[in-house]
Structure 1
Amino acid sequence: MKRIVLLFAILAVAGCSNKAPLIGISGSYMPTGGTSLNTNYSQAVSRARGVPVIIPTVSSREEADAVLAVLDGIVFSGGEDLGPWLYGEDIYNETVFVDSVRDVSDVFLAQAALASHKPILAICRGEQLMNVVLGGSLYQDIPDQLPDNVGHGGTTHKIGIEAGSILASLFGTDSLEVNSTHHQAVKDLAPGLKVTAHSPDGIVEAYEGDNLIAVQFHPEKLVRTDAKWLALFKLFIKKAR
């Protein structure tokens, strides 16, 4: 029933806006019922001339395929830590907090998105998710596993951008200041992906793949005070048309 209601809602929006791409955005599962999502994501998509659709959790690949069938692109948002069993590890320490319901949903949605060949924008947890789904692994706790890190828990720092990357072409620079609110990060990069930005301590801050742009930072927050970041969302929406 949940899936049917969602699909009817998406189709209703599509009927009112046959030019703007429909962009699904993953959210966090709420045990009391429903899905939560910071409004920064939907506002950024709207400002870039997309139609944001919040995706409730799915419980099967069939549901995920049905959702992707009516979307033009998908944003995987930030949130809880990924379950380390998804990349063959046990929980590292007490700082790791997972949401197994969301993990199941996001993995199905990621698999469906990859199979659909529709554009994917992966942010923070989303960046980590896509790396894991494609065969990579994560640092579970940056402060403990990488003690010489530059600080990633609620701060800002510069990132170095690789020449020839999407970020380089969008912003015309080899360095950007970004926000940082995470304690996990890409460890082993999945096959087929290309790292396009690093923080000074070597942590992966962005990578690219087929129909995939992934960033560890939060451009949906940055765009609220710095309009240049809208370019990333506009490019994503353009690819979804």
Structure 2
Amino acid sequence: MKKKPIIGITSSIMDIEIKGEINPAVHTNHQYVKSVTEIGGIPIVIPVSNEDMAKEYVNLCDGIIFTSGEDVDPSRYNQDPSDELQKINFARDETELPLVKYAVDKKIPIMGTCRGLAIINVALGGTMKQHLESEHHQEAYRKLPTHEINIEEDSQLFHLFGEKKAMVNSKHHQAVDQLADSLTVAATSEDNVIEAVEAKKKNQFILGLQFHPEELFAVDTKMLNLLMRFREACEKKG
């Protein structure tokens, strides 16, 4: 029997009230945990910590999912904050930026959704559009695909989906501006917003998505295939 891959899932910090007291809690969307379990992985939630611990997490995990959440601090890509910048989390950036770099150095498979795409791009030297001029984010229920993307035929995403178009469930107010040199565009929206990126090197699994396969895999075979391919990459690493 194959050893199940250990897949790290990044998290944030959320204040919760317990008996009248505010307590900081480790927080991640349970759907990430559920999706990893469903595809045969062992989910491990990675708490916000520091660079030294990031090295330990990479040594522990066979793959890492960078989850959605706060905006990446624009100072991380040498920009001043715009008026439209939303909540940032300095400590989370301090953990996840080196986590990306150490994972890439060790060729640990990584996948990012929404903020996860942003942190991957920024960690590898790219920049972000701090706010989209047009309303490119959906207000609908995230478990429903609401817009179409165009997939590059020479991309790994095309081989996974088997189609040049797909319906996805993006919900974001930022987007990739300058793409990191080690990444390539895998898919765009009808208004040319980058919806998916991947590693230029085909022997390394890096996938950044503006959409959320963890919310759709139960009803969309393409999203399930994507997550299963990620698990397979993690198995090889493990």
TM-score calculated relative to the size of structure 1: 0.86
Residue pairs, 1:161-176, within 5 angstroms: 161-176=151-166
Does 1:52 find its partner at 2:36?
Answer: no
Q: What residue is the counterpart of 1:26 in the other structure?
A: 10
Residue pairs, 1:1-241, within 5 angstroms: 19-30=3-14, 32-60=23-51, 62-142=52-132, 146-147=133-134, 151-155=136-140, 156-209=146-199, 210-241=204-235
Q: Tell me how far apart the structure 2 counterparts of residues 100 and 78 of structure 1 sit (CA, whole Å).
A: 15
Q: 1:111, CA displacement in angstroms?
A: 1.9
Q: 1:94, CA displacement in angstroms?
A: 4.2
Q: Which amino acid aligns with 2:78?
A: G
Moved more, 207-216 or 30-39: 30-39
Instruction: Output one character per residue of 1:31-72: Cα deviation in whole Å (capped at 9) or x when no partner.
Output: 533310111111111111111100111212x21111111110
Instruction: Output one character per residue of 1:189-224: Cα deviation in whole Å (capped at 9) or x when no partner.
Output: 010211010001111100111321111111111113
Q: Tell me how far apart the structure 2 counterparts of residues 94 and 174 of structure 1 sit (CA, whole Å).
A: 33
Which structure dedicates a bigger proportion of its chain to helix? 1
Is contact 1:25–1:55 with CA below 8 Å preserved after alignment?
Answer: yes
Instruction: Output one character per residue of 1:89-145: Cα deviation in whole Å (capped at 9) or x when no partner.
Output: 111114422111111111121122122211001111010111011111101111xxx
Is contact 1:154–1:182 with CA below 8 Å preserved after alignment?
Answer: no
Detail structure 1 runs of 4+ shifted over 6 Å in the superposition: none
Is contact 1:137–1:189 with CA below 8 Å preserved after alignment?
Answer: yes
Identity across aligned pairs (percent)? 37
Structure 1 residue runs without a partner (length 5+) = 1-16
Q: Tell me how far apart the structure 2 counterparts of residues 183 and 224 of structure 1 sit (CA, whole Å).
A: 26
Is contact 1:141–1:183 with CA below 8 Å preserved after alignment?
Answer: yes
Report SS of the residue matched to 1:96: coil
RMSD of Structure 2 on Structure 1 (CA): 1.6
Is contact 1:24–1:75 with CA below 8 Å preserved after alignment?
Answer: yes
Q: Which amino acid aligns with 1:153?
A: Q
Q: Which amino acid aligns with 1:84?
A: P
Report SS of the residue matched to 1:91: coil
Count, aligned residues: 219
Structure 2 residue runs without a partner (length 5+) = 16-22, 141-145
Q: Tell me how far apart the structure 2 counterparts of residues 90 and 48 of structure 1 sit (CA, whole Å).
A: 41
Q: Tell me how far apart the structure 1 counterparts of residues 151 and 84 of structure 2 sit (CA, whole Å).
A: 33
Q: Tell me how far apart the structure 2 counterparts of residues 154 and 24 of structure 1 sit (CA, whole Å).
A: 29
Q: Relative to 1, partners in 2 of residues 1:131 and 1:34: Cα closer, same or farther, differing over 3 Å?
A: same
Q: Tell me how far apart the structure 2 counterparts of residues 183 and 86 of structure 1 sit (CA, whole Å).
A: 18
Moved more, 215-224 or 151-160: 151-160
